[in-house]
Amino acid sequence: MKRDIYFIYVNTPWRAKLTDVEFIWDEEPGGNVEHLADNALTPEDVIHALETVTAFAISRSSGRSAFYGYALDGRFIFVVYEEIAEGTLFAVTAYEVS
């Protein structure tokens, strides 16, 4: 498994906060990187979506934490994740929304 650490500035309407976020990427067959690719997305798209987050939410289908943001190419995407530990996220899935 590959780990990437990013320094993200998240600006929300109610507050702005600075946070260190570490994503866990599973590059094995069936891992989250492959699952993102099945939806024509990359880990970089997920990272960019967090950098451009517009809202946090809860996935209706899984009950997991999620957020909306923009992929590198400008597509509006929904990212479902698990917080493994404080500041450590595992992107379960992500897909384009209309």
pLDDT tens digits for range 61-79: 999 999 999 999 999 999 9
Please give the pLDDT value at position 67: 92
Average pLDDT (31-51) is: 95
Please give the pLDDT value at position 66: 92
Beta bridge partners of 95: 78
Domain ranges of the chain: 2-96
Share of the chain above pLDDT 90, in %: 60
Q: Are 23 and 72 in contact (CB under 8 A)?
A: no
Q: Are 26 and 1 in contact (CB under 8 A)?
A: yes
- Strand stretches in the chain, DSSP E: 2-11, 16-25, 55-58, 65-70, 76-85, 88-96
